[in-house]
Amino acid sequence: MAPTATPPGLTEATRNSTTHWQHDLQALFDHAKDRFADVVWELNADSGSGVEEVWGHKAVVYARAPPSFQARYFSFKPPPIASPTPYSS
């Protein structure tokens, strides 16, 4: 049985879709500060010309970063102890 060739339309659509997806991801990276960012890292430039900020979202970092990275860069604090209310027993 001869292998079936991919229709030219599908190949072009896949290429266009992939290119569009890559542009969308680059835009998300370039504008991360505007997209619900809640963490930031400051990177010193090798040339000493200044500091570059890299913004991100904790949920993405929690999902993707190894535990050693999380332990080093995030402080995990226990929730505050609630003070007793006048109605508590």
pLDDT digits (tens, 9 = 90+) for 25-65: 999 888 888 887 888 888 887 777 788 888 888 888 888 88
Angle value at C-alpha 45, between 44 and 46, nearest 5 degrees? 115
Mean pLDDT of 67-80: 77
Q: How far apart are CA 59 and CA 75, in angstroms?
A: 14
- Is pLDDT larger for residue 76 or for residue 41? 41
Q: In degrees rounded to 5, what are phi and psi of residue 11? A: -60, -45
Rounded to two decimals, the pTM is 0.48
pLDDT at 26: 93
